[in-house]
């Protein structure tokens, strides 16, 4: 079995962050480990409070894992401050981390800002050590400094992120208007369009966390970046179709529904 480390924030409602990452890792057959960067008070309707973890403790969690357990891939999610981002970067450099997936979490679906503005440069420094960066369009706009409206803009953004040092980039297209939900992968000097039909649902809590974690799982299992991105896209598409409308807001995707079905659990919603 492969081992994957998630470095991210905790979601009290269980749909995103560390909780989504661990569910994804269980579903995809890897052993999940965590370094928690922040504790959030949130549910399906919003984020209400965030308490950051001290950077030294974030680094300590990473160190404790690496000193004892082989790490086959790393997913980085919410790193809200420059100090935390740099503690993560320095720790991963120290242990020569491989298969790093950076999901640059900046704003929650409810509009809560999860990244301090002054931390943007530190996130770019994290991108420089990443094997793949997976921003959505608003995140890519902030990282790159220009508006993204067309597929050409997405290509320019992917190239910009790789110029920062990232080995590969996946620009998620869900925020664009249209009938599909095409993402754009830049790998090996070429652009690959990952297409699926757009699913009409508001229950998409945790999609970015889940996709990036799935990519990390497939990389840990030995897949190429292209194959990992395609498999992760298939997984998140099914998870959105299986979304669980718990609560009064945007419910979480169905991370474990395939396992529930095998176990004979009634998942009719």
Residue range 13-61, pLDDT digits in tens? 999 999 999 999 999 999 999 999 999 999 999 999 999 999 999 999 9
Active-site residue flag, 204:
yes
Active-site residue flag, 37:
no
Active-site residue flag, 217:
no
Provide the pLDDT for residue 110. 60
Active-site residue flag, 172:
yes
- Say yes or no to pLDDT of 226 above 70: yes
Q: Choosing from 44, 172, 233, 249, which is the catalytic residue?
A: 172
- The DSSP secondary-structure symbol of 200 reads -
CATH architecture under which domain 3-262 falls: 3-Layer(aba) Sandwich (3.40)
Question: Average pLDDT of 123-134?
Answer: 96
Angle between helices 55-68 and 82-94 (to 10 degrees): 20
Our measurement of the distance from residue 126's CA atom to the centroid of its chain's CA atoms, rounded to an integer in Å, reads: 14
User: What is this structure's pTM?
Assistant: 0.95
Each residue of 13-22: b (16+ CB within 10 Å) or e? bbbbbbbbbb
Q: Are 136 and 175 in contact (CB under 8 A)?
A: yes
Provide the pLDDT for residue 177. 53
Q: Choosing from 77, 174, 208, 251, which is the catalytic residue?
A: 208
Active-site residue flag, 145:
no
3-state class (DSSP) for residue 143: helix
Q: Please tell me the distance from the alpha carbon of residue 46 to that of residue 11, in angstroms, as a whole number.
A: 11
User: Burial level of 244, CB count in 10 A (0-12/13-18/19+)?
Assistant: buried
Q: Choosing from 144, 162, 209, 217, which is the catalytic residue?
A: 209
- Say yes or no to pLDDT of 173 above 90: no
Which residues share a beta bridge with 107?
A: 113
Q: Choosing from 34, 40, 44, 207, which is the catalytic residue?
A: 207
Active-site residue flag, 14:
no
Q: Are 149 and 162 in contact (CB under 8 A)?
A: no
């Amino acid at each position: 079995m492969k081992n994957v480390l998630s470095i991210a924030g905790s979601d009290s409602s269980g749909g995103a962050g560390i909780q989504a990452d661990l569910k994804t890792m269980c579903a995809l057959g890897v052993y999940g480990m965590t370094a928690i960067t922040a504790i959030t008070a949130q549910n399906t309707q919003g984020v209400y409070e965030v308490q950051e973890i001290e950077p030294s403790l974030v680094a300590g969690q990473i160190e404790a894992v690496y000193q004892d357990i082989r790490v086959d891939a790393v997913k980085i999610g919410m790193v809200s401050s420059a100090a935390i981002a740099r503690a993560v970067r320095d720790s991963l450099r120290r242990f020569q981390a491989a298969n790093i997936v950076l999901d640059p979490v900046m704003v929650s679906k409810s509009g809560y800002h999860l990244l301090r503005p002054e931390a943007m440069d530190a996130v770019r420094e994290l991108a420089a050590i990443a094997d793949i960066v997976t921003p959505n369009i608003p995140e890519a706009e902030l990282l790159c400094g220009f508006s993204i409206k067309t597929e050409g803009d997405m290509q320019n953004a992917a190239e910009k992120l790789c110029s920062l040092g990232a080995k590969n980039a996946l620009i998620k297209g869900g925020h664009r208007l249209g009938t599909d939900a095409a993402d754009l992968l830049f790998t090996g000097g070429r652009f690959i369009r990952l297409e699926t039909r757009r699913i009409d649902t508001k229950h998409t809590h945790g999609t970015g966390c889940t996709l990036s974690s799935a990519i990390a799982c497939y990389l840990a299992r030995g897949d190429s970046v292209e194959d990992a991105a395609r498999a992760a896209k298939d997984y998140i598409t099914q998870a959105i179709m299986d979304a669980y409308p718990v609560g009064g807001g945007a419910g979480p995707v169905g991370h474990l529904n395939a396992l529930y079905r095998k176990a004979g659990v009634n998942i009719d919603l």
